[in-house]
Amino acid sequence: MFAPAPSPTIIIMNVINESVRVRGRWPYRVAAAVWTIIAAAALLGLALPTAPGPLLLGLAISAYSFNLYLLVPALLGGLLLWRAWRTGRRRWSGVAGALTILLVLGAAVPSVLLWRTAAANAVALSLPAYFTGPDGGTAAPSATETYATVDGVALKVDVWQPGGTAGPRPAMIYVFGGGWVSGDRAQMPAYFQWLTSQGLTVFAVDYRLSTAGDPGWEKAPGDVKCAVGWVRANAARHGVDPDRIVLGGNSAGANLATLVAYTAGDDAVPASCAVGDTSVRAVVEFYGPTDLTTAHRDTKSTDARGMIETYLGGTPGAVPDRYRRNSPVTYVRPGLPPTLILQGEHDSVVPAGQATDLAARLDAAGVPNTVLTLPATEHSFDGLYGGFATQISRPVLTRFLDQHVK
C-alpha cells in the first residue's frame, strides 16, 4: 500500500522551515569567515619574517603592540568552536580550534616574556594600565617658540614645563621619529607629561624633513644641533640648568639625537644656525638606527630601506660617505655622554643588532651605557603608553636620569 500524500499545507510548511534553517546559517557563516580573516591576519603579523610594505609592517607592529587584545578574537573563536562542535562541523571545528589556540599563545607568550623582563628590572607591571591605549596625552605645551629660521623655514619648539618645581631644572630635548620623512614635535604628549612629572622641562623640537628630491642628511642633524644650542642659550629663561640637559628621541629621532650628542664640537656635523656650545649631559635613544649601512642591509622593512635612501639621497653603494657621516657609531670614542638604549628584540624596522652593536662599541670606548632589550617587542612600542614594554622602559629611564642627569 502507498502512504498517503502529504497535504499541500504540510509541504509548504516544510519548505518554509527548511528555508529558515538555511538562512539561519548565514550569520554564523559570515561571522566565521570574518573571524578567520581577523585571526589569520593577527597571527600573520606575529609570524612575519619580513614586512614588505606599509600594510604588513603595520600588521606586525599592531600584533606585537596590542598582543593582549588577541584574547578578544580568541574568546570569539571559542564560541564559534563550540557552535561548530554542536552542529557537527568537525572539519571547521578543527580549524577554529587551532586558530584559537594560536591566538591564546600569541597573547600569552609575549606577555609572559615581558613580565619576566619586568621582574629582572625590578619593575611592577599594571594590567589595567595596559588598556589605557595609545599615547594620546591631554595637556598642551606651556609655550611654543621659534628656535631658528633657516632658508625661510621657521623651526618650532614646544616647551613643556613641570609644575611646582623651582629651577634650575634638568631638561630633555626630544627629537621625533618618522623615518626622516614624516612626523612632528607633537608626537609623544603623554610621554612629555610624564617627563614633566619627573621634574624635567621638555623641549620637543621640529626639524626639516626629507623628500625624494630633497634629501635631508645635512639639514635634519644640523637643525637638531641648532636646537640644542638654542636651549642652552635660553636655559636660564626657562629655568633650566644648561649642564643637565639630556638629548633623546625615537627611531629616526633617536638617530639624530645620538648623532648630534656624539658630534658636539665636531664640524663634521655642523649646526644649521650660529650657535655656541651644543654639548649634553646624556643621551636617551629609543630604537634608533646607529649604523645606517647595516640598518639598510638588515631591516625587514622595505619601507624603512626606502626612507633611509630618501634621507641620504641614495644607497650605501652610491653614497657611502653619507651613510658613515650620519651613523652615530662612526663617532664613538672615550668621553661621550652616558647613553641609554631602549630596543625591541622583534623590531621589523630597526634591527635589534643596532642597539647591541652600539652598546658593544661604547663598552670598548669606556662610555657609560645602559641597554634594555625588550623581548617580543616591535618598533614604536612606546606609542602604546600603557603597554608592558613602555611600563618597563619608564622606570629604567627614571633610574638612568637619576644617575646621570638629576
Query: pLDDT tens-digit profile of 53-102?
Result: 666 677 677 777 788 888 888 888 777 777 777 666 666 677 777 888 88
Tell me the pLDDT tens digit for each residue of 117-142: 999 999 999 999 988 766 666 678 99
The pLDDT, as a whole number, for residue 136 is: 60
Instruction: List the grid coordinates of 272.
Output: 644649521
- Helix, coil or strand: residue 19: helix
Least confident stretch, 3-17, 145-159, 174-188, 330-344: 3-17
What would the mean pLDDT of 26-34 be, rounded to a whole number? Answer: 65
pLDDT at 21 over 70: no
Phi, psi for residue 330 in degrees, rounded to 5: -60, -30
Report how far residue 103's alpha carbon sits from residue 48's, in angstroms, rounded to the nearest whole number. Answer: 15
What would the mean pLDDT of 372-377 be, rounded to a whole number? Answer: 96
Residue 172: its H or E element = strand 169-175
Helices (H), 235-291: 252-262
pLDDT at 224 over 90: yes
The answer for residues whose C-beta is within 8 angstroms of residue 51's C-beta and 6 or more apart is 57, 59, 60, 300, 301, 302, 303, 348, 349
What would the mean pLDDT of 186-194 be, rounded to a whole number? Answer: 92
Q: Is the pTM of this model over 0.75?
A: yes
In contact, 325 and 217? CB cutoff 8 Å: yes
